[in-house]
Amino acid sequence: MDLRHDPPAQFRTALDQLHEVVAKEAGSDDFGPSDYLPGLKVLLQSMDYDPHFSEAGRRLAWGQVVDVLRGRVAAIASMKATPGFDASPITSPVVITGVPRTGTTALHRLMAVDPRFQGLQSWLLDSPMPRPPVEAWASYPEFQKTVARLEAQHAAAPQQRAAHFLAAEEVHECCMVMRQGFVSNLWNCGWSAATYDAWWQCQSEEPAYRHYYRCVQLIGANEPEKRWLLKNPGHIENLDLLFAVFPDARVIQTHRDPAKAVPSLVSLLMNLHPLMEDGRADQRGQNMLAREVAKWSSAVRKADAVRAQHPGKVLDVVHGDFHRDPMAVLERIYAFIGMEIPDELDPAFAQRIADKPELAHGVHRYDITDYGMTEAEAREPFGDYVSRYDLLEKRA
């Protein structure tokens, strides 16, 4: 979100202006394969038609599009500057996925304590490059820019800290680099984008997965043999594409009562609404919950179908089990991925669990009734999913 660029009077006619701004900032006009252009054009058209942007929201939205396209240029430039980055295939990555707000982040960051894994840090998703030594990160302008962006984001929406705290040095979601293809669910999240959403629902994300794979190779180019730990909720909708690029992936799918998880997601996304748009918060919240329930119930069904074709490659983790006994869940996961937990790693895991860093910035509170739906209505599209995984939370 870069406020240095004044947004155009019309987004839909600003395609050339956007490329000129990004090329000037990045020092390169190589945007890679043109498969990103259809989505970018639809997004810009949607930005004129769908949201009720505030003036600040227009600047923030334009800045985000600039940043993401600049990230794409940075990735392409770094690939050109790193011959042989793609020489080594990515073998047996561990990939965490599941409906959003089912514990994917907590599990991801806990497993990232293990130094035998490498991951996608937030700052490298903003500016893909071969990962430098950690002690040098703070000296990189790209790292400093991500720190500043996240600090500004948390200052503008303090409730985001409790809902989903982000840090430049922490591992983050694959979708943050996949959105550089402009065929991404993320473009429906920051502001009203029904026109883009209708287009996106009919598209394949295959080009985005190809770009994502190359970015993972690029970021890990200095340690190509080190095992990858990746995470992205959206993979459950595209498990077929995930297995196409990572045939030997070991996938961990997390599960939680959708009547808890999906409204939590909507609450998280609605925290940004006052920053971006004027009015219509109640309407957007209700529209969003209906949309997210439909989307993620469909994603679960798609994942079930793909899983049937890849027996033994997906491990199920229930949110309640993870919170009750995270070490027992870790032991199951490590057995599944063919690794052992060395004794010297136990204290680090125990410390991370005891610290509860996900709660360090407050508790995220939300109520499904704020979005015009009952818990039963949220569960119904998921069919037998709740009973199959015994997801109803039992409280004393």
* pLDDT per position as a tens digit, 91-121: 999 999 999 999 999 999 999 999 999 999 9
Per residue in 9-36, pLDDT tens?
999 999 999 999 999 999 999 999 999 9
Residue 164 — pLDDT band, cuts 50, 70, 90? very low
The percentage of residues in the chain with a pLDDT greater than 90, rounded to a whole number, is 86
Region 377-388: what's the mean pLDDT? 97
What local confidence, expressed as pLDDT, does residue 151 receive?
84
Packing angle of the helix pair 206-219, 55-80 (nearest 10 deg): 60
Region 230-247: what's the mean pLDDT? 97
What local confidence, expressed as pLDDT, does residue 161 receive?
47
Residue 163 — pLDDT band, cuts 50, 70, 90? very low
Structure-token pair, residue 185: 């669910």
Structure-token pair, residue 140: 């990189």
Of 189, 183, 248, which is closest to residue 209 (Cα–Cα)?
Answer: 183
What local confidence, expressed as pLDDT, does residue 37 receive?
98
Instruction: End-to-end CA distance of the chain: give it in Å, rounded.
Output: 44
What local confidence, expressed as pLDDT, does residue 365 receive?
74
What local confidence, expressed as pLDDT, does residue 122 receive?
92
Checking if the pLDDT of 168 tops 60, the result is yes
Checking if the pLDDT of 153 tops 90, the result is no
Per residue in 30-89, pLDDT tens?
999 999 999 999 999 999 999 999 999 999 999 999 999 999 999 999 999 999 999 999
Domains of the chain: 15-388 (3.40.50.300)
More confident: 27 or 164: 27
- Burial of residue 210 (CB within 10 Å: 0-12, 13-18, 19+) is middle
- The full DSSP string for 259-327 is HHHHHHHHHHHHTTHHHHBSS-HHHHHHHHHHHHHHHHHHHHHHHHHHHHHSTTSEEEEEHHHHHH-HH
The percentage of residues in the chain with a pLDDT greater than 70, rounded to a whole number, is 93
Average of per-residue pLDDT values in the chain: 93
In this prediction the pTM is 0.93
What local confidence, expressed as pLDDT, does residue 68 receive?
97
What local confidence, expressed as pLDDT, does residue 2 receive?
43
More confident: 195 or 367: 195
Residue 278 — pLDDT band, cuts 50, 70, 90? very high
More confident: 342 or 393: 342
In this predicted structure, which of 21-30, 220-229, 348-357 has the lowest mean pLDDT?
348-357
Checking if the pLDDT of 173 tops 60, the result is yes
